[in-house]
Amino acid sequence: MALPALLAGLDAGEMDQALEALEARSRLLAWKKLPEKLVLLRHGQSEGNVDHMLYTFKGDSRIELTKEGISQAKVAGQRLAQITPPDANVIVCISPFERTTQTLLALYSGGFDQSLVSKVHVDPQIREQEFGNFQDPGLTQKVRAEEGRVGRFYYRRPNAESSADVFDRVTQFFDKLFGPIGDDGGIGILTRAKSKYDMCLIVTHGLTIRLMLMCLFQWSVETFGTVWNLGNCEHVCLKKNMETFTYEICPEESFPQRVPWASREIFLVLRENLAPQDLIERLERLMDTRRHLADGSAGCREELAKLDKIIDGLENQMLRARSLPYTVINYLEISQPRTMQTIEVLGHLVPGHGHQKKTPEELEAMRDAPERQQVEFIDWWGDQLSYQGKMLRTNRITRGVSGRLTEKVELDLGEAA
């Protein structure tokens, strides 16, 4: 076929089906080259885990394992040996920090077969989040206060990184690891090797692992904030699914044997709970004042904006008065989009907030929630969002001054993940 005719055929779409088949075949071949398993493992107990003051004079990259951390890594080596095929071709990707290096060596010592490892790739992009050269203990209280106002994902300490910064470099790491799958057959670290890797072990840090999972599973910022760090030398195993071209969490080969633990504090607004009468009357007066201002001259715009803020704060206060605090546990097991799954969410609730020091097992034993018909509204945001923002997020119309929400549609438009 002459070139002009070929180009004309392409423009006319005559070869679309063949091109689509070629693209699908290229993607299939690229995924076949990828390892059957990705294992993300956190380092063993470090000096910094037991003595936070160490960070005031010792660089984070030089923090070493404790004796307990070495023991943990040896036991983890035995666990990894059980999920590694005897003839596997393994690649290890590792943070360059001393505690991750020592963890890998202790894994070998504990029973993870070093002879199976054909490549060790040391990559600074999967190092721990930078908190500054040295950490001033006097900053802690100030940092906590500012972090709450800015948001944990976005907050950056002085001379440090935010979690968003780490997310960016972790994303770049995966681009380098996998290559542009589907574009040209993949030219990443995992796909350029002559022989296929059966398993990729990534030895890194707790927060870094959470951000890796956020990247792989496209979690929202809100979902990322619900996930707990893995314990020292705990790991998450991901298995390749060739039908969906994705990696999926395999609880059976993870340790502990579950999806990563996640919890989220919420408030349930109950139908039977009305706002206090004094707040209702105050809202009515403020709404009357607003109507009068709105009927006045255009010069009242600034006063209206201030009054709207006061009204919004009062509406949030009324919402809180009608609410009870609950914590959603095992959050990642809820189907996506999670904030729309009201029935599922009610099956994952424990009463109250502030359960961070309880174990997952203790929290599982505390499950308890009201019936679906008792719940009018799930407030996912608490003090982090205005009343107006909550109504927009959940596609609701306000307001009967009774303090009860007027529902437009029973539809939650919270984060998709």
Residues annotated in the binding site, as ranges? 42-49, 99
Q: Is 364 a catalytic residue?
A: no
C-beta of residue 94 within 8 angstroms of C-beta of residue 100: yes
> CA 410 to CA 417: how far, in whole Å?
19
- Angstrom distances, CA of residue 406 to CA of 263, 280, 395, 399, 400: 29, 15, 11, 6, 6
- Rounded to the nearest 5°, which phi and psi values hold at 343? -60, -45
> CA 350 to CA 355: how far, in whole Å?
9
Catalytic residue among 98, 128, 222, 234: 128
Catalytic residue among 43, 205, 235, 348: 43
C-beta of residue 133 within 8 angstroms of C-beta of residue 166: no
| Continuous segment of H or E residues that includes residue 325 | strand 323-329
Residue among 81, 160, 92, 90 at smallest CA distance from 126: 92
- Angstrom distances, CA of residue 102 to CA of 69, 98, 116, 190: 9, 6, 18, 24
- Rounded to the nearest 5°, which phi and psi values hold at 63? -65, 135
Which residue ranges make up the annotated binding site for substrate? 42-49, 99
> CA 321 to CA 267: how far, in whole Å?
10
Q: Is 43 a catalytic residue?
A: yes
Please tell me the total number of residues recorded for the chain in this structure.
417
Tokens 């885990």 label which residue?
49
Active site residues: 43, 128
